[in-house]
Chain A
Amino acid sequence: MVLTFIAIFAIGIAAGVVGAILGLGGGIIIVPALTLGFGMPMRTAVAASTVCIIATSTGAAVAFLRDRLTNTRVAIWLEMGTATGALTGALVAALVNQRLLFILFGALLSYSAYNMFRTRKEQQKPEVVPDAISRKLRLKGSYYDKALGRRVDYQVTRTLHGLIIMYFSGAAAGLLGIGAGIFKVPAMDQVMGMPFKASSATSNFMIGVTAASGAVVYFARGDVKPLVAGPVVLGVLLGAILGARLMMRMNANKIRLFFMPILAYTAIEMIYEGVKWW
């Protein structure tokens, strides 16, 4: 039993580090590791992974908030989209064709992976002109980039596009049980014109809220098994604290380089999920 605890704990640390650096929930690591590696039922793995999303978010956010990498105003604006989207997703889950959605979202992610690949060499984003909402809500931000050794000031644009994408990303999370951060980072980075590190930190901040209502439901159903979730969540918590520190010192382009294969993998995985039964 002790060995299993240590193994699950180690997986948690790895998932926490990766999740904190990339702004993702880490479910992409935890769910396959628990089901394939330890033969646990899917429900147990998904429930544990949902609590892990909160652990990644909470553990990393402390450091990101202190260094002002997290844009709290953007986060709250976009959380309206994810929270209402997740609610809609859960309500209409029985009515929609999931296969079609998997293919649709997979295609969307493929495009965003391609877009990220195309712009991989850009150190500086072209000048972003804030739109009316962004100006009115004062969504702009600034942080000190430890890797560049200077302050980065940025503006935010296409705020409504961002909100709509968040709504659908929330719906995808509610419908398909995926996509805690994988839609959020590209939406802020590529659509709203935010710096990659600010996008990742803000996504990280938001995913805890997206996961919270789901986690409460899993708890109420008794799907959260303390002996599985305990070690993995503790690992994720420590991993996320460590990962946040690493991320702040990393070059944004290097982080993108890690993000792209995960984006591409998820896209292929989702399209496969949609096609496999035909």
Chain B
Amino acid sequence: MVVGNDPEEGTAVNPIEMVLARLLRLGSLVAAALLAVGIAMMVLGQTELAPKLITAGLLVLLGTPILRVVAASVIFVRERDWHFALFSLVVLCAMAAGIYFGKG
């Protein structure tokens, strides 16, 4: 994947954008489907299963930005773009620490 590394590259599609777009689309489709089915079941009176499906949808959605940072860091490491690999790692660590301290 050297295409995106070319500093003069302007109009050609940068692979990282496409990979992230695909990841985010998958996340939002799965989340939307789970939410829609969950809400429909709630309306139909399935009060047992419906909240679980909705929670699952919300959790999928919650996972996408975290996965997005992980995916970006993997791509940067593969492209040997060490600066940005390091930046992504800093972001991930800060997020993890935020979750750790937030819970306590």
Contacts and interface: CB of A to CB of B under 8 A. Distances in A.
Nearest to B27: A58
A7 B62 CA distance: 23
| Range, interface on chain A | 35 or more
Given A51-B58, A227-B42, A208 B35 contact: no
Given A87-B101, A209-B95, A230-B54, A58 B39 contact: no
Interface residues of B, number: 51
Contacts of A174: 98
A258 B59 CA distance: 32
Given A54-B65, A58-B61, A224-B58, 16 more contacts: A58-B64, A61-B24, A62-B25, A65-B18, A79-B91, A86-B94, A87-B98, A90-B101, A208-B64, A214-B98, A216-B62, A226-B51, A230-B38, A230-B39, A237-B31, A241-B28
A206 to B, nearest CB: 9
A15 interface: no
Q: Main SS of chain B's interface residues?
A: helix
A82 to B, nearest CB: 8
Contacts of A87: 94, 97-98, 101
Nearest to A9: B39
Interface centre among B14, B17, B94, B99 (most CB of A within 10 A): B94
